[in-house]
Chains A and B, each alone.
Chain A
Amino acid sequence: MTEVDGFVAWVRAFAASIESHQGELTDLDSAIGDADHGANMARGMAAVVAALDAAEFETVGALFKKVGMTLVSTVGGASGPLYGTLFLRIGTAAGEATSLDPDSVAKALRAGLEGVVARGRPEAGDKTMFDALSPALDALDQALTDGSPLSEALRAASQAADEGRDATTPMLARKGRASYLGERSVGHQDPGATSAALLIATAAETLP
């Protein structure tokens, strides 16, 4: 079972990872977007950390709803509504629980991804965060079905997310600002898929 504290550790680790990869995210976004993904995510996750410092959370749902609302209110761009909706839906799925078993973790993450799909309407191969998250959650479900413990299943998910992120490089962008470039978006790794892979990687590092 993963307690609220475990999820707090994940969110903090994600914030630290975004901070240390801020320059890389901005460089990737300079190539095919508008050079703000690193700064926006760093600003949003810093606000999330401040919110975590200021409050105690009794339930997993309350924690993730706070994370989601904070991102919606501070990030802007497309990342704010997308990451915000992701965490809000994770929070809604977790509800009043004070801890989650591995299957409930997977279900909550799946609900988060469905929120991203509802907000941004991405499809596989559009060169977006979906291309990292979707294979990651498929791998997570598969590993749990095969009887792996959560930590091992999340490592499989993280590997799938990294592969999904790498696979965005040859893709032609069909969503977001990169889509304006047409063929010129080919050959660049997607910034959103990159930050999404960090989200899964930090989950694998922190969630027991």
Chain B
Amino acid sequence: MTPELGQLALILALLLALAQGVLPLLGAWRGNGALMAVARPAAAGQAVFVALAFGVLSWAFLHFDFSVRYVADNSNLALPWYYRLAAVWGAHEGSLLLWIFILNLWTVALAALSHKLPDVFVARVLGVLGLIAVGFIAFILFTSNPFERLLPMPPDGGDLNPVLQDPGMTFHPPVLYMGYVGFSVAFAFSIAALLGGELEQAWVRWARPWTNVAWGFLSAGIVAGSWWAYAELGWGGWWFWDPVENASFMPWLVGAALIHAQAVTEKRGALRAWTILLSIFAFSLSLLGTFLVRSGVLTSVHAFASDPKRGLFILCFLAVVVGGSLLLYALRAPKVAGGKPFGVVSRETAILIGNLMLTVAAAMVLLGTLFPLLGDALNLGKISVGPPYFGFLFTLLMIPIVLLLPFGPYLRWGEKGGLPPLKNVAVRAGIAALACAIAAAFTTGWALKAIAGTAAAVWCCVGTLLYVLKRWREMPAGRRYPAEMAGMLLAHFGVGVFLAGVLLTEALSVERDVRMAPGQVQTIGGYDFRFDGVHVADGPNWQGDQGTVTVMRDDREIAVMHPQKRTYTRGQVQTESAIDAGVTRDLYVALGEPMDRNDPEGAWALRLYHKPFVRWIWAGGLLMMLGGFFSAADKRFRLRREATEKLPASAQESHA
């Protein structure tokens, strides 16, 4: 009975979403206040019913209701409760339910925090979000119903895919979806602005904090995914340029461009049309990401069994969203280039170059990701595009950004002639980068990537710190670092940390697959790894072999590591790597396979890795995430009404 309640709740949510999507937009068009007022209650009601459906599914998982097909497929009696809860979004149907649930969270937050905005505008934004919700709830109900019954009811269920049984995986999808779905808010703002013809700066200021938060979540989600791949897939890589990873990376790139373009539009009025276009792209790429992951059209290490009908639905949805919004854009986008003019050496120019590089990078990733589909359609054969394509082009495209990054805060809006301070910065950061690069050259034995990484990281970090110092000296206490600026500085510093992590790891990692008999010692990166054999270990829903590897340096014991090879209840095999984490290096051990199946106590194939500075990659990503959150918290964004009133001239023009 209960699962049907969930189904019913979803149907009611669909009806409310229809009301939320259609009536307020009509009201805004006709100037009917009553219809516009439907938006908030409809959004709240929809959120209640979706939450109910989500709760019902979670309840079914927690209480082993195997009469629900989705529950039976993805959990069993032996699965611990926390993974049963995570299993709610462990496969297709539930993850879509999570998607829509998060969309509702965003919508409700927006409805609650938007009382200071004009009613017409709010009605349009919530209406657009309602339409998106209609699409997704219909998708769930018609193609991927999580409450479908399975009769007769099996005594025990299947299993949650073992690679998903990991703490990293429990929070990776929700956080990633917070980011994906968050871009729908920026998208709704842009569409509302196009519909209302409000192409002045005001709406951009309202949209900015939402975009920043969404981008922050997306950064966190990608970091979590990368870390999970590192720890769980068992071969110690942190990024594979895999289609599914690219799917989350493209909206991130466009989102990064978007938050910078929004700043220009808000402060200077320039690049308005571009900002709107970017928010359409960011959301479309989020949808494309969902499509790529869920349709299985591309070969991916993350791909799961899938259903072509679903892919078709998302593809149609995507066509409607992209086509519709681009049509609207073509009809309503500002025809005349607006905003204040800017000189060649100005913050606008720097941001524009950065934007260009980020969007071209996103286009490049899109081309590489979809190229196999293209090749298939043109009958070129079965093609895949190797990771070096992405690595090579992405590095080239990011060089200008890295070079410009320290100057960003020093450059002034619009003005010409800010050269002298820039020279100072360039000289100081340049000397620091050069000195550290030379030091790196001698300590790493002229590893080119390590030298480049050190130089680039020091260049970014020192450049950013110099600006921190300048503010500290020149501004009175309390006004030194407004949240918006603090966020920017944190994120830019994060870029430096990230660069150091990536290039040093790439240059200095030692990865060795070896055959080891118990007692044997291998020396890697100055550490002695002693293999102490394998014995049997059991978990709640798996049996496994657990190896013991003792790591020593200069005869001092550093770590005792326990990599595992697990066999889950349904026979799926899963490698659990053992990682000894550190600030300057990770030690990584994974069990390969026994050399002789009949003698698991004997010799094994092992992966032994020494990965210097690998944590810095994720630390950099987390700093960028913090940057997004900090910026969004700026007081300026909260004093909206007052701020609008102080700009009567421009604001009124827009409403005229």
Do the two chains bind? no
